[in-house]
Amino acid sequence: MARHLITSAIPYINGIKHLGNLVGSQLPADLYARYLRARGNEVLFLCATDEHGTPAELAAAKAGKPVADYCAEMWQVQADIAKGFRLSFDHFGRSSSPQNHKLTQHFAGKLAENGLIREVTEQQMYSKEDGRFLPDRYIEGTCPNCGFDSARGDQCDNCTKQLDPVDLINPHSTISGSTDLEMRETKHLYLCQSQMKDQLEEWIDSKTDWPILTTSIAKKWLNDGDGLQDRGITRDLDWGVPVMKGDDPWPGMEGKVFYVWFDAPIEYIACGAEWVEAGKGTDWERWWRTDKGADDVRYTQFMGKDNVPFHTLSFPVTILGSGEPWKLVDYIKSFNYLNYDGGQFSTSRGRGVFMDQALEILPADYWRWWLLSHAPESSDSEFTWENFQTSVNKDLADVLGNFASRVTKFCRSKFSEAVPAGGTYGPREDQLIADLTAKIREYEGHMEAIEVRKSAAALRAAWALGNEYLQEVAPWTTFKTDPDQAAAQIRLALNLIRLYAVISAPFIPDASADLQAAMQSDVTDWPDDIAAALSVMPEGHAFTVPEVTFRKITDTEREEWQERFAGVRS
- 127 and 95 housed in the same domain: no
What digits encode the pLDDT tens for the residues 69-93? 999 999 999 999 999 999 999 999 9
- Asked if 319 and 222 sit in the same domain, the reply is no
* Whether 53 contacts 155, CB under 8 Å: no
Question: What's the structural domain count of the chain?
Answer: 3
Does residue 374 share a domain with residue 284? yes
Long-range contacts of 69-76 (CB under 8 A, 24+ apart): 70/13, 71/13, 71/96, 74/13, 74/14, 74/15, 74/49, 75/13, 75/49, 75/51
Give the model confidence (pLDDT) of 506-532 as tens digits.
999 999 999 999 999 999 999 999 999
Q: What is the CATH number of the domain that holds 44?
A: 3.40.50.620
Helix (H, G, I), strand (E, B) or coil at 218: helix
Q: Is residue 241 part of a domain?
A: no
pLDDT confidence band for 570 (50 / 70 / 90): very low
Question: What pLDDT shows up at residue 563?
Answer: 86
CB neighbours (10 Å) of residue 457? 16
Residues 130 and 215 in one domain: yes
Based on the fold, state whether residues 38 and 95 are members of the same structural domain.
yes
**CATH code at position 193:** 2.170.220.10
Q: Per residue in 53-79, is it b (16+ CB within 10 Å) or e — as a string?
A: bbbbbbbbeeeeeebeebbbebbeebb
Q: Dump the DSSP string for 309-327.
A: HIIIIIHHHHHHHTTS-BP
- In a shared domain, residues 24 and 13: yes
Residue of 311, 286, 365, 354 whose CA lies nearest to 548:
365
- Does a structural domain hold residue 28? yes
Q: Which helix (H) or strand (E) holds 237?
A: none
In a domain, 106, yes or no: yes
For residue 349, what pLDDT is reported? 63
- The answer on pLDDT for 432 being more than 70 is yes
Annotated binding residues, written as ranges, equal 143, 146, 156, 159, 347
Q: For residue 465, what is the domain's CATH number?
A: 1.10.730.10
The pLDDT of residue 300 is 98
Determine the pLDDT at residue 167: 87
What range defines the domain where residue 140 resides?
114-232
At residue 93, φ and ψ (nearest 5 deg) are -100, -160
Same domain, 289 and 307: yes
Q: Could you say which of 329, 361, 382 is where a domain stops?
A: 382
Higher local confidence (pLDDT), 162 or 361? 361
Across the chain, mean pLDDT equals: 94
pLDDT at residue 568, rounded to an integer: 55
Query: What digits encode the pLDDT tens for the residues 228-238?
Result: 889 999 998 88
Q: Are 180 and 199 in a shared domain?
A: yes
Same domain membership, residue 219 and residue 144? yes
Strands 297-304 and 3-8: parallel
| Residue 539 maps to a domain | no
The dihedral of CA 460, 462, 466, 467: what is its sign?
Answer: positive
Are residues 83 and 122 located together in one domain of the fold?
A: no
- Same domain flag for 326 and 270: yes
Average pLDDT over every residue of 44-68? 93
Do residues 199 and 214 both lie within one domain? yes
Q: How confident is the model at residue 394 (pLDDT cuts 50, 70, 90)?
A: very high
Specify the pLDDT at position 201.
Answer: 94
> Maximum CA pair distance of the chain?
92
Asked if the structure places residue 177 within a domain, the reply is yes
Tell me the residue ranges of DSSP E strands in 296-364: 297-304, 331-335, 338-340, 343-344
Residue 240 φ/ψ region, left for φ over 0, alpha for ψ in the -120 to 50 degree band, beta for the rest? left
Residue 329: pLDDT over 50: yes
- Residue 281, number of CB atoms within 10 A of its CB: 16
User: Where among 232, 248, 274 does a domain terminate?
Assistant: 232
Pairing of strands 381-383, 338-340: parallel
Binding-site residue numbers for ATP are: 347
Residue 125 within any structural domain of the chain: yes
pLDDT at 134 over 90: no
Whether 145 maps to a domain, the answer reads yes
439 assigned to some structural domain: yes
Which residues are annotated binding-site positions for Zn(2+)? 143, 146, 156, 159
User: Where residue 272 falls among pLDDT bands split at 50, 70, 90?
Assistant: very high
